[in-house]
Amino acid sequence: MLKQFIPDQYVKSVFEISVEQLKEQGVKGIITDLDNTLVEWDRADATERLIEWFDLLRAQGFQIVIVSNNNEKRVKHFADPHKITFIHSARKPLSKAFKTACKLMNLKREETVVIGDQLLTDILGGNRAGFQTILVVPVAQTDGFLTKFNRRIERRVFHTMKKRGLIEWENSDEKN
């Protein structure tokens, strides 16, 4: 059961993900969470650095779909200025939204990676749906109400995984 929570890769931010390595692995599409993955959960717009990252991905031929549990208004406001396809109210960790995002990009699961900041939604959902997953450290140290609950459970899962030798990341217990 715990193995479904283990990402294929763990990085501090989306900016540390190697675009070259993704290309070498045959990845052509990126499904990414929004809140605390790309920007703080309470930041409405993309940062300049993030816009440059989107431009880099597109220049390298990647497609991007945002899959968020947040509402349409929030996700649309963020995604539309950058012409990024999105799925709101995704109900992660259920796999339907991940599979839909893959179909929207007309790609296979092996050609797609899921990026997110939460084990209980992004990583569990991506793994259950058969995608490669990348866990990032949350952009902000604060969370919305529901996410605070998830983080408590997540800390216990991290502790158990570390205790059983399933993960070896530095500071995994302090991640949240």
Express each pLDDT in 75-105 by its tens digit: 999 999 999 999 999 999 999 999 999 999 9
CATH number of the domain encompassing residue 38:
3.40.50.1000
The domain in which residue 108 lies consists of 2-140
Express each pLDDT in 5-33 by its tens digit: 899 999 999 999 999 999 999 999 999 99
Nearest CA-CA partner of 123 in 144, 102, 137: 137
For residue 159, is it within any domain? no
Integer angstrom CA distances of residue 130 from 77, 92, 110, 150 = 29, 14, 8, 22
Domain count, the chain: 1
d(CA 3, CA 148): 23
For residue 149, is it within any domain? no
pTM for this prediction: 0.85
Which residues, 6 or more positions from 79, have their beta carbon under 8 angstroms from its beta carbon?
A: 34, 66, 85, 86
The single residue listed with the structure tokens 């259920």 is 94
User: What stretches of 11-105 show up as alpha helix (H) in DSSP?
Assistant: 19-24, 48-59, 72-79, 96-104
For residue 162, is it within any domain? no
Using an 8 Å Cβ cutoff, are 24 and 57 in contact?
no
